[in-house]
Structure 1
Amino acid sequence: MTTFDVSSVGFAVLDILGRPVTRIPEGGRVDFIEEIRMTVAGTAAATGMDCAILGLKTRMVTTVGTDDMGDFLISKMQRYGMNTDMVSRDRTHQTSSTILPVRPNGERPALHVPGTARSFTLTEKDYAGALDARIVHVGGTGLLESFDGEPSVKFMKAAKEAGRTTTFDLIQANPETVELVKPLLPYIDYFIPSIEEASEMAGVSDPAEVARYFKSHGVKNAILTMGGDGVYVDPEEGDAFTLPAHDIKVVDTTGCGDSFSAGIIVGLSKGWDIRESARFASAVAAKVAMGLGSDGTLTSFDDTMEAMNSWPVKE
């Protein structure tokens, strides 16, 4: 018997976002914009936050600094109802942080300080707490300098040996990242990268070929998010399929992939099949894309269910 629905392990970052930004003012001049926010973000933390908003009992497993930014992240996670007992504090690195000037079309170039993402890791004595959940989500491979490689492989293997369902996403993947990811693939039940990152690693661009590449290396279910083009799913059982994205006005794409992972996790926690889970995840991502930051306009499970069943999808 586990204590939590999901344990979200890995990359946490403070995002400082502003919109809409069309240029960086010259010299010391000022441009006025409509909105600035600070949010919990990162491939593990944003996913965990969105799981908590959607009603799951969520444990966060990460490292932040002993600075004001770390204080903010922990306080905000707790306000969302996340358990932060396994959020450690690092006195030698600042909290991972990103400045995001969000363009009018929702794109967001980033200025990033890796900070505590580089120092986060787990030892075997941490496994009992980190695996005290039915679903274990690992996010951030590629930026987790101390956890990437053998520590991640040992942890994911332990998760499967403990009978946990595993979900996985990464960030800023490139052709070199695949060497970090390959040893993890046999221990991943649900692999949920963006098509851009997955294509970079697989060396092919067609979604069907990309999914086949990762499944051939051990992934059970390959789920490729494709932004406005929806999602491509190659499940462990049955035929591959594509679902369209919702037809919405995009404000900010920050955290859309993270929120999609949260939607999949919620579906799994409720025993839904992969198609229904992906439908729900698409609605979660749409809710996030309609506001600024990794939570966007996401407010509750019931509200998201209503959106899934009523909002139009793209033709």
Structure 2
Amino acid sequence: MPTFDVSSVGFAVLDILGRPVTGIPEGGRADFIDEIRMTVAGTAGATGMDCAILGLKTRMVTTVGTDELGDFLVSKMQGYGMDTAMVGRDGTVQTSATILPVRPNGERPALHVPGTAATFDIAPADYEAALDAGIVHIGGTGLLKSFDGAPTLAFIKAAKDAGRITTFDLIQATPETTALVEPLLPYIDYFIPSIEEAQEMSGLAEAADIAQWFQAKGVKNTILTMGGEGVYVLPAEGDAFTLPAHDIDVVDTTGCGDSFSAGIIVGLVKGWPLKDCARFASAVAARVAMGLGSDGKLTSFDETVETMNTLPLKG
């Protein structure tokens, strides 16, 4: 039996966030803002962190630098109870990092250094340890220069050969990303992109058409996150369904998709039906959007269940 509930594999980044930012000051002048934070982030990093906050036994599989940014990420991961035995350290480049000036409406343009995201890889000799979890989440395809393509395909095949459930998300997809992701699709049990990413990859506009496009290429369950419009789900079995988003005042949308993935994973670990997983994931994302950073106001499983059952939904 696997040691961990989830192994979160791929893109981890240090986010430095400030809000609210309405513009960059002229010359060398300064503006005053309300809040600045540093957080664990990334399509694997934030998802793993949120899984840990929600009570899952979580292994992180990524690479950070030997710099102070990497020290911060490892320390924070360990503080959340995440296992970091498979967090590699690379002294040839800096830790992947992003500066995010968050606008008053929650949007966040980004200034990004790829750093260790581009050097992350998993040697076949390390597959057994990286796959020592009931669910294997792969996040960050498109930014993982050394791991994208054939290495990811070999790893996800190994995950399925080991009998693992696979979840998958990517970041900033373009039509070119399709070439990287398409060979992986038959090995993905739960594909959780944003609607914008899915549109870019498929060339289609409507959620129903997009979901069918991915499932025709082998994905078992397609889950499209649509921000304030909620979520569209096409299960492997049964009818498609939509769920509305919660009605909240958005502070910051950073990490909302990553946290939604964490909510799906938590529900799967608990054996819930997919619709209940999606309801819970929506509540996780809502709690993250109510605060700054990839954890936002996410504090515990019980509080998130209360949010799911009491926070109003959009009409």
Normalising TM by the smaller chain, what interval? over 0.9
SS in 2 for 1:69: helix
Structure 1 counterpart of 2:289: 289
Q: 2:300 is matched by which residue type in structure 1? A: S
Once residues 233 and 180 of structure 1 are traced to their aligned partners in structure 2, the CA distance between those partners, rounded to angstroms, is 23
CA offsets per residue over residues 150-177 of structure 1, 9 Å max, x none? Answer: 0000000000000000000000100000
Q: 1:41 is matched by which residue type in structure 2? A: A
CA offsets per residue over residues 277-302 of structure 1, 9 Å max, x none? Answer: 00000000000000000000000000
CA offsets per residue over residues 76-95 of structure 1, 9 Å max, x none? Answer: 00000000000000010100
Once residues 93 and 215 of structure 1 are traced to their aligned partners in structure 2, the CA distance between those partners, rounded to angstroms, is 38
Alignment of 1:9-48 (within 5 A): 9-48=9-48
Once residues 43 and 70 of structure 2 are traced to their aligned partners in structure 1, the CA distance between those partners, rounded to angstroms, is 17
Structure 1 counterpart of 2:241: 241
How far residue 101 of structure 1 moved from its aligned partner, in angstroms, is 0.1
Once residues 11 and 126 of structure 2 are traced to their aligned partners in structure 1, the CA distance between those partners, rounded to angstroms, is 16
Alignment of 1:95-244 (within 5 A): 95-244=95-244
Q: 1:20 is matched by which residue type in structure 2? A: P
Once residues 212 and 199 of structure 1 are traced to their aligned partners in structure 2, the CA distance between those partners, rounded to angstroms, is 12
SS in 2 for 1:30: coil
CA offsets per residue over residues 52-76 of structure 1, 9 Å max, x none? Answer: 0000000000000000000000000
How far residue 265 of structure 1 moved from its aligned partner, in angstroms, is 0.0
Q: 1:124 is matched by which residue type in structure 2? A: P
Alignment of 1:47-86 (within 5 A): 47-86=47-86
SS in 1 for 2:137: strand
Structure 2 counterpart of 1:276: 276
Q: 1:109 is matched by which residue type in structure 2? A: P
How far residue 123 of structure 1 moved from its aligned partner, in angstroms, is 1.4
CA offsets per residue over residues 111-143 of structure 1, 9 Å max, x none? Answer: 000000000001110100100000000000000
SS in 1 for 2:186: helix
Structure 2 counterpart of 1:91: 91
What is the percentage of aligned positions where both structures have the same residue?
77
Alignment of 1:254-269 (within 5 A): 254-269=254-269
CA offsets per residue over residues 157-210 of structure 1, 9 Å max, x none? Answer: 000000000000000100000000000000000000000001000000100011
SS in 2 for 1:186: helix
Structure 1 ranges of 4+ moved more than 3 A: none
SS in 2 for 1:210: helix
TM-score by length of 1: 1.00
Structure 2 counterpart of 1:302: 302
Q: 1:70 is matched by which residue type in structure 2? A: G
Q: 2:23 is matched by which residue type in structure 1? A: R
Q: 1:271 is matched by which residue type in structure 2? A: G
SS in 1 for 2:147: coil
Q: 2:53 is matched by which residue type in structure 1? A: I
Measured on the aligned residues, the alpha-carbon RMSD in Å equals 0.3
Once residues 173 and 145 of structure 1 are traced to their aligned partners in structure 2, the CA distance between those partners, rounded to angstroms, is 14
Q: 2:118 is matched by which residue type in structure 1? A: R
CA offsets per residue over residues 26-52 of structure 1, 9 Å max, x none? Answer: 100000000000000000000000000
Q: 1:293 is matched by which residue type in structure 2? A: G
Once residues 205 and 284 of structure 2 are traced to their aligned partners in structure 1, the CA distance between those partners, rounded to angstroms, is 26
Once residues 162 and 256 of structure 2 are traced to their aligned partners in structure 1, the CA distance between those partners, rounded to angstroms, is 30
How far residue 306 of structure 1 moved from its aligned partner, in angstroms, is 0.3
Once residues 2 and 44 of structure 1 are traced to their aligned partners in structure 2, the CA distance between those partners, rounded to angstroms, is 19
Structure 2 counterpart of 1:253: 253
Equivalent residues, number = 315
CA offsets per residue over residues 216-252 of structure 1, 9 Å max, x none? Answer: 1100000000000000000000000000000000000
Q: 2:227 is matched by which residue type in structure 1? A: G
Once residues 124 and 80 of structure 2 are traced to their aligned partners in structure 1, the CA distance between those partners, rounded to angstroms, is 28
Once residues 117 and 205 of structure 1 are traced to their aligned partners in structure 2, the CA distance between those partners, rounded to angstroms, is 30
